[in-house]
Amino acid sequence: MRAEIVARLVAAMKQAGLDAVVTVSPENFGWLNGFVVPSQPLMRHRHAMSIVTADGRQSLVAVDMEETTVRNRAPDMPVRIWAEFTDSPMEALSQSLAGFGLATGRVGIEMDYLPAGDFAALVRTMPGARFEPCEAMLARLRQSKTADEIALMRRLSRIADQAITDALSSVHPGDTEMDIAAALTRNIYALGAEQFKLMIVATGERSQLPNVGPTSRTLVARDVCRVEIFSVIGGYQAGVCRTAVVGEAPPHAERIWKHLVECKYQLLDMIRPGVSCREVYGAFIRKLTELELAPISFVGHGIGLHLHEEPYLGNNPIIGRTVDQVIEADMVFSIEPLCYRTGHGYGMQLKDMIRVTDTGCELLSDYADTDTLQVVR
């Protein structure tokens, strides 16, 4: 496991009075171990779990189908393997916890990920233990990135940015959204990503649709093209969105884009340690209103092992908690001034990745020059 992250977790569980923490989601398994077990995000019953005790002891629990992968990626880590069709993963977990002397311990576990049936089985196998939700604590710990995490997020941001920019440069009027997607897929892998999530290719009137994939629609003059992708390595992801026009911009597009760019620079100027997330969002909404663009519920969010992580640069409650939080150094945000409904038959979006420094913020997605619209020729 990653020593710096384990140390942070140990300090947090001691403060919370926990004897151990069990991670059961792919995101927190990846956070602790630096890799995601490939089939766990696809098949929730294939539990891959990490155990860290308050005195720093560690072990893993994994399904037999993934044993070779887990042992290859974590060769020095104790691993308890459970057989997919004959063993109970909760019994395997309880045996590992009992081996640490925690049969009557106070154990934090991700209640928002573990299925209710599995949790009931775990309680039956460990009736003397006390299980408590720890997902909020883990999410808070993940907000501040280590130097290694920041380096990875910087790499992922540039991969996504370059992949989109080069894909848009490779297509021409008469090509299709599928041609953009093909170039984008090739670029993502060629630039070093392990995989990608949420490819959005939306052109012409489809650019008003927030989260749609590519179709056979043909690119024609004055189309607006919204293209977004999340590049992934080790479970970490960086999302970037770029907007281009085909041949020349349709009416009002250059003016709207200029306004979105102004919003981007306002965000870059405001985001720094000690500033309230809600303060940033409020300033953005005032700017958007001044520019006569429709408001959105947030303009940025944390990112790392989930597409969206707290804190949000917004003004709405998320999962029962307020989003208002003070920005801290080494947080990584996705910021996205956008307007899906411009009133002119197209939508535009400018999405970047940033890292909060000690005195301000650093633009991580810095491959493309977004001050002007990219042109598909």
Q: Enter the pTM of the model.
A: 0.94
> Can you tell me the distance from the alpha carbon of 369 to that of 231, in angstroms, rounded to the nearest whole number?
19
Q: What is the DSSP string of 62-122?
A: EEGGGHHHHHHHSTTS-EEEE-TTTS-HHHHHHHHHHHTT-TT-EEEE-TTTS-HHHHHHH
Range list of β-strands (E), 234-325: 236-246, 298-302, 309-314
pLDDT in tens, 346-361: 999 999 999 999 999 9
* CB environment 99-122: b (16+ within 10 A), e (fewer): ebebeebbbbbbeebbeeebbebb
> Can you tell me the distance from the alpha carbon of 159 to that of 155, in angstroms, rounded to the nearest whole number?
6
> Can you tell me the distance from the alpha carbon of 217 to that of 222, in angstroms, rounded to the nearest whole number?
14
pLDDT in tens, 114-146: 999 999 999 999 999 999 999 999 999 999 999
pLDDT in tens, 236-295: 999 999 999 999 999 999 999 999 999 999 999 999 999 999 999 999 988 888 878 877
pLDDT of the residue at 321: 54
pLDDT of the residue at 143: 97
Tell me: pLDDT of 213 over 80. Answer: yes
Residue of 132, 186, 144 whose CA lies nearest to 18: 132
pLDDT of the residue at 319: 47
Count, residues in the chain: 377
Residue of 54, 55, 9 whose CA lies nearest to 29: 9
Which is more confidently placed, 324 or 24?
24
Residue of 313, 308, 283, 286 whose CA lies nearest to 297: 313
- Phi, psi of 47, deg, nearest 5: -65, 130
